[in-house]
């Protein structure tokens, strides 16, 4: 309480007579939803693309589209807007964003390279499984003649 009783009386009159409901402001209007940080939305979209496409490739389903990744990133940023993440150093946040961007750009290329190498390895392995082992007679026909075991009558 202050030393001025008139100010105290005015302050008491100005206080709301009811408890504000959650989500309702002092003037009775709904409180504004926190806005999503656009940079965070982009970083989270990159993370969604990276992780989502790794999972999709693992289970051989269609990869996420750009629109799907953006929608996931925007929704995640809206969720993050309800929490205090101000303790994150801006420099650290920038490095994390860079990591997401590089990962999202490189991961599809790495996956494609792995699938190509795995596909070639599977093709070679399938070809080896399908062919039968040659008989000893077939092996003898494919080997060059050995001087010591060659038939002298065949040389003449």
What's the token pair of residue 6? 């008139």
Mean pLDDT value of segment 134-152: 53
Domain residue limits at 93: 34-129
Specify if 10 maps to a domain.
no
Specify if 145 maps to a domain.
no
Residue-wise pLDDT for 17-62, tens only, equals 655 556 565 556 666 778 888 888 888 898 898 889 888 888 989 9
Give yes or no for residue 81 having a pLDDT over 60.
Answer: yes
Total domains in the chain come to 1
Specify if 111 maps to a domain.
yes
Specify if 60 maps to a domain.
yes
- For 24, the 3-state DSSP assignment is strand
Specify if 26 maps to a domain.
no
Specify if 7 maps to a domain.
no
Specify if 76 maps to a domain.
yes
Specify if 38 maps to a domain.
yes
What's the token pair of residue 20? 């504000």
* Mean per-residue pLDDT over the chain, rounded: 74
Count the neighbouring beta carbons within 10 Å of the beta carbon of residue 80.
16
pLDDT the model gives residue 135: 57
SS (H, E, C) 27-94: CCCECCCCCCCHHHHHHHHHHHHHHHHHHHHHCCCCCCCHHHHHHHHHHHHHHHCCCCCCCCCHHHHH
For residue 30, what are the β-bridge partners?
24
């Amino acid at each position: 309480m202050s030393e001025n009783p008139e100010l105290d009386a005015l302050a008491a009159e100005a206080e709301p007579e009811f408890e504000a409901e959650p989500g309702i402001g002092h003037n009775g209007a709904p409180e504004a939803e926190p806005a999503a940080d656009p940079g965070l939305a982009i970083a989270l979209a990159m993370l969604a693309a990276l992780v989502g496409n790794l999972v999709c490739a693992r289970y051989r389903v269609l990869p996420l589209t750009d629109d799907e990744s953006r929608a996931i990133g925007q929704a995640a940023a809206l969720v993050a807007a309800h929490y205090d993440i101000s303790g994150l150093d801006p420099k650290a946040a920038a490095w994390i964003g860079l990591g997401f961007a590089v990962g999202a750009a490189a991961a599809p290329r790495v996956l494609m390279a792995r699938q190509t190498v795995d596909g070639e390895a599977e093709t070679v392995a399938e070809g080896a499984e399908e062919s039968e082992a040659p008989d000893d007679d077939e092996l003898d026909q494919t080997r060059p003649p050995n001087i010591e075991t060659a038939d002298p009558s065949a040389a003449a």
